[in-house]
């Protein structure tokens, strides 16, 4: 295991981990980043007056609310849900968590209590004394402090102009700051969480900057929050950068945000230079040439676009833009996700998903990617999606923009370096996950996974991520058995050696053929796994061949996961060997038959399992066409195709 980790992660990764552990163990980090009170962060007496005169303005601060309100109201009517309803629930202590469920946190919120199980984390100690690998899923403790509740308050105020929404924002912020002094407790454990929080606060203050409730004393509080956030990021920035994912990008943008909007001391100008330098390097390292992102996840890719959109807005507020190289990578990343998106805004889910949705600035569902993709298209490409409620996000972030209509149809996705492919049919989409290389840690053991959309519905898909750290055997639906592929025995295609680490990194070597795409890997002990996908005149065919490398037998199981049994029954499956078939749902203790649309929640779904034992086993699955399997070929709607 250690040799494999050294091979894939490199000696520098190990040395950094040893250093980070030493920083914690010997208290070096605590001494550099000490416990403080808010009053110990000195802000000049005339800061608020200078801020009002000279702080850059975001578009939300420049646009007359009377112009915005009719648009927001019309979109609320179209969605059937007004942001005022969510805003007023906050006054009762009820917060919407992970963009879905309501949680009763109290009128004076219990900031250190997990919204997932009610457990509390000690808020009296320095954050280095706490661990995110405890039995409590730390995501549940951090959720309220991501400040997603800011956005419905802004939307509600834009809609009706009521002062109660502005006062509610300030009251909640003041309460949070009283409960979370700098570097004390779980809300300071993660620089990315601190950055997302500062972005939310900055957006709200820009929206409310001319409101009488935004007093000098309150603006000074935000300056202290920005200062503490920037210091927290800088004192442990190397750790975020070593993650090689959205942590480094988010924290770089956190520094940019603090320096551009809240600079009152020379050190924050240095934070800006550092943030922009690291953002440029992180984008170059983590965004591939085709626009794929290092985290191998559609939802984390959305977060990437949201962060880069915000960063560009921040730069434009000071009459500049992001560096040309970063903008080019942002364009590639935007095209990547846009090409995967269906007309209803959904995307083929793959990889981990912690519920992140940085800008819930529309009434669209969590799995509707049009708000994020539409804003990115507008700011980076001058394009727009068809008109709809998702436009609220772009309007509130960017203001009115001149954007042409984007192409209605996008080509099949073909991203070998990201391991992402699609085949499109007039009735549906086949998504194929076949990574040919990993530059950074794989997210799931999902090699050769296929998702299927038919007649406007995802009938076979990745079940999502329930929790990164839930009791009872749940593993975040990351293992091979939670994906639509063939497994051998009880093995995964890679060995899981940590919550976020699989070894070795198994790749697939995909290649196009005349009638489709084929890929294979050697991840299951003693077996070669090969999958071929074909688009026919009437649908799709998926051919799986499992071959024992030393002619040994193995129990091979093909799984198809879907939200409904009726959807999975649309698949016709044939096998070359005697097989058994079962539909299972809601198995206990981390078993199959579950679906998680939102982090921290799960609901029963279905898994169709076909199992056969042999040395050389072939499964053929068809959607939309008839199927007949013979010894050396199969027939789809009467047309013969060789198995090889």
User: Strand, coil or helix: what is 146?
Assistant: helix
**Tens digit of pLDDT for each residue in 92-136?**
999 999 998 999 999 999 999 999 999 999 999 999 999 876 667
**Cis peptide bond upstream of 288, omega within 30:** no
Quick one: pLDDT at residue 133?
Answer: 67
Percent of the chain with pLDDT over 70: 97
From residue 239, give the alpha-carbon distance in Å to each of 235, 280, 420, 538. 9, 17, 29, 51
Q: Are 176 and 148 in contact (CB under 8 A)?
A: no
Lowest mean pLDDT among 27-41, 407-421, 424-438: 407-421
**Cis peptide bond upstream of 172, omega within 30:** no
581: tokens are: 């078939």
Distance CA 278, CA 454 (A): 42
What does the DSSP assignment read for 84-113?
Answer: HHHHHHHHTTEEEETTTEEEE-TTTT-TTB
Q: Are 450 and 484 in contact (CB under 8 A)?
A: yes
Q: Are 613 and 489 in contact (CB under 8 A)?
A: no
> Residue 42: what are its φ and ψ, rounded to 5°?
-80, 125
536: tokens are: 């026919």
281 has pLDDT over 60 = yes
Q: Which residue has the higher pLDDT, 131 or 502?
A: 502
Distance CA 188, CA 61 (A): 29
Q: Are 636 and 541 in contact (CB under 8 A)?
A: yes
Local confidence band at 265 (pLDDT 50, 70, 90 cut-offs): confident
Distance CA 451, CA 485 (A): 10
Q: Are 608 and 559 in contact (CB under 8 A)?
A: yes
Rounded (5°) CA angle 571-573-577? 170
Report the 10 Å Cβ neighbour count for 119: 14
Inter-helix orientation angle 191-207/150-160, to 10°: 10
DSSP state of 526: T
82 has pLDDT over 80 = yes
For residues 523-558, one letter each, b for 16 or more C-beta atoms within 10 angstroms of the residue's C-beta and e for the rest, the string is bbebbebbbbbbbbebbbbbbbbbbbeeeeebebbb
Which is it for the CA torsion 336, 367, 598, 531, positive or negative?
Answer: negative
* Average pLDDT value over all residues in the chain: 93
135 exposure class (CB count in 10 Å sphere: 0-12, 13-18, 19+) = exposed
Q: Are 181 and 34 in contact (CB under 8 A)?
A: no
403 has pLDDT over 90 = no
642: tokens are: 């060789």
* Residue 3 host element (H or E): helix 2-9
Distance CA 15, CA 436 (A): 28
Distance CA 544, CA 63 (A): 56
Nearest CA to 355 among 174, 103, 88, 127?
103
DSSP state of 188: G
Q: What is the mean pLDDT of residues 19-45?
A: 87
Local confidence band at 410 (pLDDT 50, 70, 90 cut-offs): low
How far does CA 1 lie from the centroid of its chain?
A: 28
441 has pLDDT over 70 = yes
DSSP state of 457: E
Quick one: pLDDT at residue 8?
Answer: 64
The alpha-carbon radius of gyration of the chain (Å, integer) is 25
**Tens digit of pLDDT for each residue in 200-255?**
999 999 999 999 999 999 999 999 999 999 999 999 999 888 888 999 999 999 99
Lowest mean pLDDT among 272-286, 379-393, 459-473: 459-473
532: tokens are: 């071929």
Global model pTM greater than 0.85: yes
Quick one: pLDDT at residue 550?
Answer: 87
For residues 183-196, one letter each, b for 16 or more C-beta atoms within 10 angstroms of the residue's C-beta and e for the rest, the string is bbbbbbbbbbbbbb
Residues facing 464 on adjacent strands:
596
Q: What is the mean pLDDT of residues 360-375?
A: 96
Distance CA 455, CA 87 (A): 37
How far does CA 73 lie from the centroid of its chain?
A: 29
* Residue 186 host element (H or E): none
């Amino acid at each position: 295991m250690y040799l494999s980790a050294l091979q894939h992660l490199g000696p520098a990764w190990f040395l950094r981990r040893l250093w980070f552990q030493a920083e914690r163990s010997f208290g070096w980090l605590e001494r550099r980043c000490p416990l403080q009170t808010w009053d110990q962060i000195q802000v000049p007496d005339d800061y608020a007056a200078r801020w009002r005169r000279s702080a850059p303005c975001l578009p939300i601060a420049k646009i007359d609310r009377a112009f915005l309100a009719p648009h927001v109201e019309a979109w609320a009517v179209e969605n059937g849900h007004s942001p005022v309803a969510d805003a007023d629930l906050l006054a009762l202590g009820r917060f919407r968590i992970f963009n879905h469920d309501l949680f009763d946190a109290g009128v004076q919120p219990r900031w250190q209590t997990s919204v997932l199980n009610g457990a509390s984390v000690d808020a009296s100690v320095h954050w280095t004394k706490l661990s995110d690998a405890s039995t409590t899923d730390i995501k549940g403790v951090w959720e309220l402090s991501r400040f997603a509740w800011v956005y419905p308050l802004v939307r509600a105020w834009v809609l009706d102009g009521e002062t109660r929404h502005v006062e509610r924002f300030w009251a909640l912020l003041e309460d949070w700051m009283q409960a979370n002094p700098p570097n004390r407790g779980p809300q300071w454990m993660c620089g990315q969480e601190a950055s997302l929080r500062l972005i939310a606060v900055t957006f709200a203050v820009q929206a409310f900057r001319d409101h009488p409730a935004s007093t000098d004393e309150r603006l000074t509080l935000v300056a202290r929050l920005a200062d503490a956030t920037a210091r927290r990021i800088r004192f442990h920035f190397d750790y975020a950068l070593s993650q090689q994912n959205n942590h480094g990008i988010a924290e770089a943008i956190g520094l940019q945000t603090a320096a551009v909007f809240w600079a009152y001391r020379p050190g924050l100008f240095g934070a800006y230079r550092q943030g922009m330098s690291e953002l440029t390097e992180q984008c170059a390292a983590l965004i591939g040439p085709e626009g794929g992102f290092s985290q191998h996840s559609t939802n984390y890719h959305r977060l990437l676009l949201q962060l880069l959109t915000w960063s560009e807005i921040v730069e434009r507020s000071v009459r500049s833009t992001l560096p040309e190289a970063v903008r080019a990578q942002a364009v590639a990343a935007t095209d990547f996700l846009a090409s995967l998106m269906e007309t209803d805004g959904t995307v083929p889910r793959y990889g981990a998903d912690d519920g992140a949705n940085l800008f819930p600035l529309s009434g669209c569902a969590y799995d509707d990617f049009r708000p994020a993709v539409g804003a990115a298209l507008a700011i980076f490409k001058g394009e727009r999606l068809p008109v709809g409620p998702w436009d609220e996000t772009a309007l509130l972030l960017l203001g009115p923009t001149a954007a042409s209509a984007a192409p209605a149809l996008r080509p099949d996705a073909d991203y070998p370096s990201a391991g992402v492919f699609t085949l499109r049919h007039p009735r549906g989409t086949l998504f194929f996950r076949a990574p040919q290389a990993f530059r950074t840690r794989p997210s799931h053991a999902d090699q050769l996974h296929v998702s299927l959309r038919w007649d406007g519905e995802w009938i076979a898909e990745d079940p999502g991520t329930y929790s990164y750290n839930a009791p009872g055997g749940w593993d975040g639906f990351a293992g091979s058995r939670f994906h639509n592929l063939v497994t051998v025995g009880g093995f995964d295609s890679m060995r899981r050696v940590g919550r976020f680490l699989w070894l070795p990194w198994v790749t697939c070597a995909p290649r196009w053929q005349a009638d489709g795409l084929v890929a294979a890997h050697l991840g299951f002990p003693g077996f070669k796994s090969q999958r071929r996908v074909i688009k026919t005149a009437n649908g799709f065919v998926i051919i799986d061949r499992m071959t024992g490398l030393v002619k040994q037998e193995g129990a091979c199981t093909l799984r198809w996961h879907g939200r409904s049994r009726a959807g999975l029954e649309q698949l016709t499956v044939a096998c070359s060997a005697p097989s058994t078939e079962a539909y299972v749902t809601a198995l206990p203790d981390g078993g199959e038959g579950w679906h998680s649309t939102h982090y921290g929640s799960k609901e029963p779904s279905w898994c169709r399992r076909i199992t056969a034992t042999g040395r050389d086993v072939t499964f053929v699955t068809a959607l939309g066409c008839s199927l007949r399997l013979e010894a050396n070929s199969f027939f789809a709607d009467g047309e013969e195709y060789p198995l090889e």
